[in-house]
Structure 1
Amino acid sequence: MRTRAAVTGVLAEMQPISLAEVLAEAALQVRVDRKYLVPIGVFVELVSRLRDRFAVLEIDGQRSFQYESVYFDTPSLGLYRQHLQRRRYRYKVRTRTYLDSGECSFEVKLKGNRSETIKSRLPYAAADRGRLTEPARDFLAEQLRTAYGVGPVDGLRPALVTTYRRSTLTDPTAHERLTCDIDLRFADATSALDVLPDAVLVESKTSGRTGAADAVLRDLRVRPIQVSKYCVAAALLNPTLRSNPWHRTVHHFSGGRLLRS
């Protein structure tokens, strides 16, 4: 609750921007993502330095919103293992629901040839968010065939759920966006875990080179980390899984000390 109060307080001092303005500014569906674990005190300083050029998304007076993502994988977690092995052609499959509005989409996230993230969306019924419909399967097959020349793996089913609160900051002139996530919870069919009680998961989204927020974070001695909510959640909820590429990140999420190098 202390983290939520601090985030609410510092974002209240920013200028608002509407959803229509954010969507008109740039879709950023092909982008470079850089992720950071930011202790709450450092996050407050980050926002204070960006306040003059960034605005915060506001909808109906709210500046943070509840998200739920349902990730799909095979019973043996084949998609997780693609990422573990750093396969060139790897992808994630999920539904994302904006719990405040009830809006939902089916999403396929691919890795491009230059390590950029390519995300494709299909409008989805919120009531179906825990299963793959036939239109979703067809959409997935089309995306994989177009991008990689392969078909989807067999046996995809719900693997785990992540929930969190997100605020979005945007610089309309530089086509730069920050998402700021708190109150993270990971859950599967048998267990749930609350993570990062004293930190914000910040993701910088740019069209290529580093942006203003990346420069400020570097000045604050916060470095990018390798993190995928899905992969970290899978590793935490299944402790016997190998998680070598994200070992330090998994340690931070499991309650280890946040490192500022």
Structure 2
Amino acid sequence: MTTGTLSGLDTRSVISLEALNNTAALQTRIDRKYVVGTRLADVILESFDAEARVLEMSGRRSFTYNSVYFDTPNLDSYLLAARGRRRRYKIRTRTYVDTANSFLEVKTEGARAATVKERIPYDPADSHRLTNEGLNYINETLTSSIGYMPSGMLQPVIETRYRRITLYLPASESRATIDCGVTWRKPGGHALELDGAVIIETKSGHAASALDRHLWAHGIRPSRISKFATGLAALDPALPANRWHRTITNSLAFRQLPH
């Protein structure tokens, strides 16, 4: 099965989810994100001459992800990120739509800007709310990792949806993802779609991967973008968007979607 709009990946060999998790789980990693025009992304991926295998499950090579992010009424998590504070965190449910699996995830920033992601299985029916079990898990995880639990009731503040292609890069035992058709929606509110571009994210140890270096060789540099925070800032221009102002202004084009 093809990878949809990115034909440059159609001839790549494949890897199973089990093999991917055994070789490149990388729950603690350095993330580098790039906003790349769809046509340019296809050219770059087609000319990438290092080995890369595409995740395939049940004949599929792209998968729909739905994430719901939670924050306090004062948007403490967002503001910590916007102001570049240490000990910041993100809380979300992530649903793999094609397999109907869901997780509650807590992401924190560890040493040297490494992202640490911890998660537990979660009922997809609860993806838009936090159960008592979920709140206990968040409390334990944040208290252990950053030393405190946010004050104020956590509530859903933004939902994201996209199709993801995942690559395994054997040379560095790392992975990369390409997210297509990225949309952001406020609960009960309006929605935006990233127009004419994909988000490529490399997830590796401290050393850059071959794909990072290939992107750099084409003049593509990492962007300050967070699906959670950039999406909130784009949906609500009144919010401070310190860290993402240049990305939103210069790198992103949006298409308004119906409610």
TM range (shorter): over 0.9
What residue is the counterpart of 2:72 in the other structure? 74
What residue is the counterpart of 1:259 in the other structure? none
Q: Distance in 2 between matches of 1:38 and 1:244?
A: 22
What residue is the counterpart of 2:252 in the other structure? 253
Q: Distance in 1 between matches of 2:87 and 2:181?
A: 31
Contact 2:159 2:187 (8 Å CA) reproduced:
no
Contact 1:14 1:51 (8 Å CA) reproduced:
no
Contact 2:14 2:54 (8 Å CA) reproduced:
yes
Aligned pairs for 1:127-166 within 5 A: 127-166=125-164
What residue is the counterpart of 1:172 in the other structure? 170
Identity %: 37
Q: Distance in 2 between matches of 1:66 and 1:182?
A: 9
Q: Distance in 2 between matches of 1:104 and 1:229?
A: 18
Amino acid at match of 1:127: A
What residue is the counterpart of 1:95 in the other structure? 93
What residue is the counterpart of 1:198 in the other structure? 196
Paired residues in the alignment total 252
Aligned pairs for 1:158-237 within 5 A: 158-237=156-235
Deviation (angstroms), 1:51: 5.2
Q: Distance in 2 between matches of 1:254 and 1:91?
A: 27
Contact 1:84 1:243 (8 Å CA) reproduced:
yes
RMSD: 1.6
Amino acid at match of 1:79: S
- Pick aligned residue for 1:36 from 34, 43, 59: 34
1:88-111 per-residue CA deviation (whole Å, 9 max, x = no partner) reads 110000000000110000000000
TM-score by length of 1: 0.92
Contact 1:70 1:95 (8 Å CA) reproduced:
yes
Deviation (angstroms), 1:175: 1.4
- Give unpaired runs (5+ residues) of structure 1: 257-261
Contact 1:108 1:140 (8 Å CA) reproduced:
yes
Contact 1:95 1:106 (8 Å CA) reproduced:
yes
1:190-243 per-residue CA deviation (whole Å, 9 max, x = no partner) reads 433333221110001001111100100000000001111010111111111110
- Give unpaired runs (5+ residues) of structure 2: none
Amino acid at match of 2:240: R
Deviation (angstroms), 1:19: 0.7
